[in-house]
DNA sequence: ATAAAATGTAGTATATATGCTATATTATGT
DNA sequence: ACATAATATAGCATATATACTACATTTTAT
């Protein structure tokens, strides 16, 4: 893959790592090649909705919490409180 | 296009029509070919996240309100009340 | 009933998502 | 420091997303 770079953002790596999964493991959960996860995490390509829906299910978060046209903010302390809402 | 059929669901047509847009118009808003909108609406293919994010912006709804692994329920009266929440 | 607009169908062409293999680099644990 | 696992890089192969053109069918308005 000739190393492009995509113009939107995702939180796949953060979510995967938080759940203690390796790329290999996540890839198996959704039946894709482990490299495919790598490319997505490095924003080197533009996955399909179907793949995104599978990631969404495997990681237990909605699409909007995982993909965004705007950069995600860092998770701050407030967001980690039990009552916290999603995204932004 | 050899007429596949995709295994997830979307509400693009409903949202487009509700906003009074033709495919042509929606296509222009997000710089894709009008046929591309048609294929998506007929679930004949699997758009990329980038395209989905563009649709999301153009139609003013989140990704999860537009794409789902499960069929969307018909919009019922309750959902149309001012206080109503999204999806499901 | 007719015209115009919107949508569907079909075929071809190109770019790219995804799979896969192999090797290099980096991180982790002992 | 060494071994092992995890991740990155690079290349090639295949399937499919998307563009585009042309024509058929359906819908909408007059």
Report CA Rg, chain B: 13
**B63 φψ region: left (φ > 0), alpha (ψ -120 to 50), beta (else):** alpha
Test A62 with B57 for CB contact under 8 angstroms. no
d(CA B2, C1' C12) / Å: 12
User: Which residue, A12, A69, A81, is CA-closest to B50?
Assistant: A69
Q: Is B61 within 8 Å of B76 (Cβ atoms)?
A: no
| pLDDT category of residue B3 using cuts at 50, 70 and 90 | low
**Residue range B66-86, pLDDT digits in tens:** 999 999 988 787 777 877 765
Closest by Cα among A51, A56, A57 to A39: A51
Residue ranges in chain A whose pLDDT is less than 70: 1-3, 85-88
Q: Which CATH number does A8-64 carry?
A: 1.10.260.40
Is the CB of B9 less than 7 A from some atom of nucleic acid strand D? no
- Does the distance separating the beta carbons of A53 and B67 come in below 8 Å? yes
| C-alpha to C-alpha distances, B12 to B53, B71, B76, B81, nearest whole angstrom | 12, 13, 18, 21
B87, pLDDT greater than 90: no
The answer to whether B48 CB is within 7 Å of strand D is yes
What span, in angstroms and rounded, lies between the C-alpha atoms of A8 and A14? 16
Would you state the pLDDT for residue B1? Answer: 67
């Amino acid at each position: 893959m000739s190393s492009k770079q995509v113009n939107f953002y995702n939180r796949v790596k953060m979510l995967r790592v938080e759940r203690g999964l390796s790329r290999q493991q996540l890839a198996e959960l959704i039946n894709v090649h482990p490299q495919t996860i790598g490319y997505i995490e490095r924003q080197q390509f533009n996955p399909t909705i179907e793949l995104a829906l599978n990631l969404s299910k495997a990681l237990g978060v909605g699409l909007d919490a995982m993909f965004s046209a705007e950069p995600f903010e860092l998770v701050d302390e407030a967001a980690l409180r039990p009552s916290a809402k999603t995204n932004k």
